[in-house]
Amino acid sequence: MSLFQELVRPNVRAMDPYAAIVPFEVLSRRLGRDPSTIIKLDANENPYGPSPRVRERLAQFPYYHIYPDPQQEALRAALSEYVHVPADHIFVGHGADEIIDLLCRLFLRPGDAIINAPPTFGMYEFDAQVSGGEVVNVWRDEHFRVDVAGLVEAVAQVNGDGENRAKLLFLTTPNNPDGSVLDPDALRVLLELPVMVVVDEAYFEFSDQASFVPWVLERENLIVLRTFAKWAGLAGLRLGYGVFPLWVMDYLWRIKQPYNVNVAATVAGLTALEDRAYYEPILQAIKEERERLYRALQSISYLHPYPSQGNFILVRVEGRSARELQQALAQEGILVRYFDKPGLHNSLRISVGKPEHTDALVAVLREFER
């Protein structure tokens, strides 16, 4: 290693290189298909995309040459009306991902820890590592329920030397990749711990569970994250937000990049919130399609789907290779997510698409029953 390489922070040098996701256009070229013919069910995006009014406002917006409002006053006011908490509790980010990174930077010193409940969304672990944090994993059970006693024990162990090194506990509901929801009683217990509890509700709009947002107003250590990526079809524009205790807001304002949220995302987010009547039937259609997809997957002999409250379904593959299935689907232009790691062996995660996407997917999967 060169002298200069040694200048890089040791925790970053120790990290595995990022496994870059192949861009959509490159993948379509590789598969020899036009992007418009690809059925993309691998990243829990909204196949209907943004509303026509969002597209129109983006096309007509005259001020792309002006820097955005660092405080996102208009968007936070609209969000306040959407989530029913005062705007001074709301922080907006360049995707919920940015906020996860900011939280790690705010709370973690090298050697501090996050408590993670895998299998779950990978960014908590990633951002903790970038900040030099340790990741303490407390695995979910076979139904993907969080292990409350295990989480309590993990915090006690990490804090055993009296230093309170356990800083952040991440809980996702509905959980990615399986779509199960967090039991409010479990959260009540976990909120008694001396850690910041981050509840990630990225898929809230697809679930029937009540939001934990109102709880934030009554607690000092609860944060709830949300995004426009899924329900509003704005994954590519990067727009997320969170609801925070006021004391945390105070610190977030100190460390945020002034122009973290760009004007296009702001225009799109504001318009999507205005255009909720357009989105409602789409969200309903996705939820209904999820149930149809679930039943279809259940009827395939070698698949074991898990019930989901998200816009995706996790499927355990039995008696054949999930990897080969994923590749066979890709050859037909259907992309799904493959997992083979602790707690997620030989599995696929399939995002809910349009009805014709389900039909095409199921037709290929049925071929393998023969």
Helix axes 276-298, 263-274, angle to 10 degrees: 90
Provide, rounded to whole angstroms, the least separation between the CB of residue 292 and ligand PLP.
22
Rounded Cα gap, residues 241 and 340, in angstroms: 31
CB atoms within 10 A of CB 206: 23
Distance between CA atoms of residues 191 and 2, nearest Å: 46
Residues forming beta bridges with residue 226, ordered by sequence position: 241
Q: What's the full length of the chain, in residues?
A: 370
Per CB under 6 A, does 311 bind ligand PLP? no
Residue 311 CB, shortest distance to ligand PLP, in Å, is: 10
Q: Which stretch binds ligand PLP (CB under 6 A): 54-62, 93-101, 137-145, 259-267?
A: 93-101
Q: Least distance to ligand PLP from the beta carbon of 266, Å? A: 14
Rounded distance between C-alpha atoms, residue 352 and residue 357, angstroms: 8
Binding to ligand PLP by residue 172, rule CB under 6 A? yes
Based on CB atoms, which residue is closest to ligand PLP, 131 or 296?
131
Q: Is 44 in the site for ligand PLP (CB under 6 A)?
A: yes
Q: Would you count residue 96 as binding ligand PLP (CB under 6 A)?
A: yes
DSSP annotation string for 152-221: HHHHHHHTTTSS--EEEEEEESSPTTT-----HHHHHHHTTSSSEEEEE-TTGGG--SPPSHHHHTT-SS
Subset of 199-228 contacting ligand PLP (CB under 6 A)? 200, 202, 227
Q: Which is nearer to ligand PLP, 180 or 227 (CB)?
A: 227
| Interacting residue with ligand PLP among 107, 121, 215, 338 (CB under 6 A) | 121
Least distance in angstroms from the C-beta of 272 to ligand PLP: 13
Interface positions with ligand PLP (CB under 6 A): 44, 95-97, 121, 172, 176, 200, 202, 227, 229, 235, 240
